Amino acid sequence: MPDRFKDIDYIVAPTAGIGYKFAATDRTTFDVDTSVGMMFEKNTGLELESDGGDALYAFSAGVAASVTTRVQLKLEFQDVYKSWPTGDADKNDIAFITAFVYKF
């Protein structure tokens, strides 16, 4: 189903990534991962461009600390770069995420 807010008919974005866990104990973890991929985006009313110039890069680093056996506090930094953004979007998106994680 097309995205009527972004005028996108479909997106295919194959990616590959790698990660490394620097520390993992019962109480805390610290890991870093990164990925790279291509994005094929069909915008409404336009032809599909698949020349390989539209790249998507993602990097994240996070740390998690156990509050209880089932609850963690997680802090994460994410950096996502898209070489050809659509509309008025910026090429680079940086986010700092704070989350409580509950394990089932």
Residue pLDDT tens, the chain, 104 long:
556 666 778 778 788 889 998 988 877 888 888 888 777 777 777 777 666 676 778 888 988 888 888 898 999 999 988 887 767 778 889 999 999 989 88
3 falls within a domain: no
- Cα–Cα distance between 15 and 29 in angstroms, integer? 25
**By C-alpha distance, which of 85, 80, 15 is closest to 43?**
85
Predicted TM-score of the model (pTM): 0.61
1 falls within a domain: no
31 falls within a domain: yes
82 falls within a domain: yes
Q: What is the pLDDT of residue 73?
A: 92
How many domains are contained in the chain? Answer: 1
Domain carrying residue 37: 8-44+53-102
Strand 71-82 to 28-38 pairing? unpaired
15 falls within a domain: yes
39 falls within a domain: yes
